[in-house]
A and B are shown apart, each in its own frame.
Chain A
């Protein structure tokens, strides 16, 4: 894999945009953590700390309204970059009836399928064939050209049958799909060596007959060039692309978990560095953004997050007596056959 850094540096707007999504997500997630610890969020809170560079780069590389994006558990930054409003997040976490899930599902289990962003289920790998199917539909409808579908998963999900079946299917159909594997080295508490036996997950790409890339997921510039290139290749018709980003999640699996199983030498090692600090330095060093600008963004995003939370907290939560309690859109009995 050739470095594309020179080209990336010239794409200043892209990098500024990715970084803004990273920062916005981090500030939002810090707030979610506080709300959880204050007992304001029921259930779990699952953060993407340390994975923002990967997630936001993917989300920024996609075109909302054209592309499809199935985010997973640690993709707040990618969701934000793809255009999900902060309110979708706060409303889902706090159970507002105005949110996309209306209290029927919570936290990261949210989406807007009508806008190309399906809502994840908890079963890992399950979104891979869904994205493939969305793209397949566009092929049948004759509107696939120029479109990309992407999904993110973790190292743990690569062990699932769903991941294998879905990726193989996408490869057979040669769909314009990007699968980003955030290898954060631990699936909940299980380390890589209990998850797979190949030296590097990217080796799997060859087995599926698809493109494979590796990237340092803590390095914004590297992510921008590598993930950007994978998306570009998929869009140009080169078939599915796999990107394996190595990094470390800088929090527990959820906020209920302190991540004590991550050894100190890994925490203090290269991948234990904070991708936001790395990105900040890169932007300043390359004169893509100034420190003052970044501080201003920080204030702006903190205010946005505060506003979203405050607004959500004033909204209604679901009322079991108003709930229609039906899982089907069809109302039975049907009076007449619907098709003659």
Chain B
């Protein structure tokens, strides 16, 4: 028996529905059909009147969830693809994210964003939106990279009183398997050292954690010991764990799948530079997707995002200083 990343997301929702009357599911094709990726498969049968198909109205879906949260519910909204959350941007950043600061009433909604690239998905079914949402005050942005994190961070995200952007990576859905959901449960806001090392630190999140580990494996054949830090949540950002790692290694590479202008990797580098400049033995580096829309063809796509090869190359450069 094994559990996939998407199984974990489904099981977390099942547990939440079972244990918390305030939770309901809302999204396009999520009820009887079970969702475009089957993250809610069978849940409406198990919990009638707790999972509802939404019209193709992302703005209204989040507005509706905010209203339901005001009246005491804890909606989990599935965007069919993270890319489509652009339609709901206003309700997310202006309605949900400002609500606690303005009125004193928090809005406990969880927005699931099927994120990141898969071969052949093209410009509008591949985006990584975490940096955009993290830029706005009032949102918690989660980017689980493991099966257990996918499970526990969804439980913990829904338990938060604040709006949560839960970025689940589509490539990991069925590719990533674990024997079981293990007990390695960290609180939201704490990063994890996925692989210890001493020569350089790679800070990554979501699917890029796995690419970074592959790169680290390759470099280990040349004797390099690369430490990989999994951010787990990009907001809040666990700067302490990053700085502690950089203190050990003296070198930082921040890797992300999102577009290169600004974003999570820029935040990582600027914070470390600001607060840990004295720890650095080399200029901190960033590696992101390229500054074009995400291309359709698998060959272009594979060269658009960071890969073990490009991470190795960036690390060799970092180690050469």
B91 is contacted by which of A111, A129, A172 (Cβ under 8 Å)? A129
- Whether A133 and B162, one on each chain, are in contact in the complex, defined by CB atoms closer than 8 angstroms, is no
- Report the minimum CB–CB distance from B109 to chain A (whole Å): 10
- Whether A134 and B63, one on each chain, are in contact in the complex, defined by CB atoms closer than 8 angstroms, is no
- Cα distance, A340 to B236, chains bound together (Å): 21
- Whether B187 and A133, one on each chain, are in contact in the complex, defined by CB atoms closer than 8 angstroms, is no
- Whether B137 and A327, one on each chain, are in contact in the complex, defined by CB atoms closer than 8 angstroms, is yes
Q: How does the 8 Å CB contact mask read for A49-93 relative to B, with 1 for contact and 0 for none?
A: 000000000000000000000000000000000000000000000
Q: How does the 8 Å CB contact mask read for A113-134 relative to B, with 1 for contact and 0 for none?
A: 1100011011100111111111
B65 is contacted by which of A118, A126, A133 (Cβ under 8 Å)? A133
- Cα distance, A338 to B185, chains bound together (Å): 11
Given A129-B91, A333-B236, decide whether A165 and B59 contact each other with a Cβ distance below 8 A. Answer: yes
Q: Which residues of B contact A119 (CB under 8 A)?
A: 99, 102-103
Q: How does the 8 Å CB contact mask read for B137-165 relative to A, with 1 for contact and 0 for none?
A: 11010000000000010011011111000
- Report the minimum CB–CB distance from A97 to chain B (whole Å): 12
Q: How many residues of B contact A (CB 8 A)?
A: 56
Given A130-B70, A327-B138, decide whether A337 and B152 contact each other with a Cβ distance below 8 A. Answer: yes
- Whether B63 and A339, one on each chain, are in contact in the complex, defined by CB atoms closer than 8 angstroms, is no
Given A126-B90, A162-B59, A330-B160, decide whether A114 and B105 contact each other with a Cβ distance below 8 A. Answer: yes
- Whether A327 and B101, one on each chain, are in contact in the complex, defined by CB atoms closer than 8 angstroms, is yes
Q: Does B189 contact A (CB under 8 A)?
A: yes
Q: How does the 8 Å CB contact mask read for B95-136 relative to A, with 1 for contact and 0 for none?
A: 101111111111000000000000000000000000000000
Q: Does B181 contact A (CB under 8 A)?
A: no
Q: Does A332 contact B (CB under 8 A)?
A: yes
Given A113-B105, A129-B60, A162-B59, decide whether A118 and B185 contact each other with a Cβ distance below 8 A. Answer: no
- Whether B67 and A136, one on each chain, are in contact in the complex, defined by CB atoms closer than 8 angstroms, is yes
Q: Does B55 contact A (CB under 8 A)?
A: yes
Segment 129-148 of A: residues with Cβ below 8 Å from B: 129-138, 140-141
Q: Does B49 contact A (CB under 8 A)?
A: yes
Q: Does A168 contact B (CB under 8 A)?
A: yes
- Cα distance, A101 to B95, chains bound together (Å): 15
Closest residue on chain B to residue A119 by CB atoms: B103
Q: Does B3 contact A (CB under 8 A)?
A: no
- Cα distance, A133 to B62, chains bound together (Å): 9
Q: Does B54 contact A (CB under 8 A)?
A: yes
Q: Does B220 contact A (CB under 8 A)?
A: no
- Whether B103 and A100, one on each chain, are in contact in the complex, defined by CB atoms closer than 8 angstroms, is yes
Q: Which residues of A contact B301 (CB under 8 A)?
A: none
- Cα distance, A135 to B70, chains bound together (Å): 10
Q: Which residues of B contact A332 (CB under 8 A)?
A: 188-189, 236
- Whether A130 and B66, one on each chain, are in contact in the complex, defined by CB atoms closer than 8 angstroms, is yes
- Report the minimum CB–CB distance from B269 to chain A (whole Å): 21
A337 is contacted by which of B67, B71, B99, B185 (Cβ under 8 Å)? B185
Q: Which residues of B contact A260 (CB under 8 A)?
A: none
Q: Which residues of B contact A121 (CB under 8 A)?
A: 94-95, 98
- Report the minimum CB–CB distance from A285 to chain B (whole Å): 42
- Whether B57 and A169, one on each chain, are in contact in the complex, defined by CB atoms closer than 8 angstroms, is yes
Q: Spell out B's residues near A (CB within 8 Å).
A: 24, 49-50, 54-55, 57-73, 75, 87, 90-91, 94-95, 97-106, 137-138, 140, 152, 155-156, 158-162, 185, 187-190, 236, 238
| Cβ contacts A to B, 22 pairs, < 8 Å | A102-B104, A105-B102, A113-B103, A122-B94, A126-B63, A128-B63, A129-B62, A133-B70, A137-B72, A140-B24, A140-B50, A162-B59, A165-B58, A165-B63, A168-B57, A169-B55, A327-B137, A328-B138, A328-B140, A330-B160, A338-B156, A339-B156
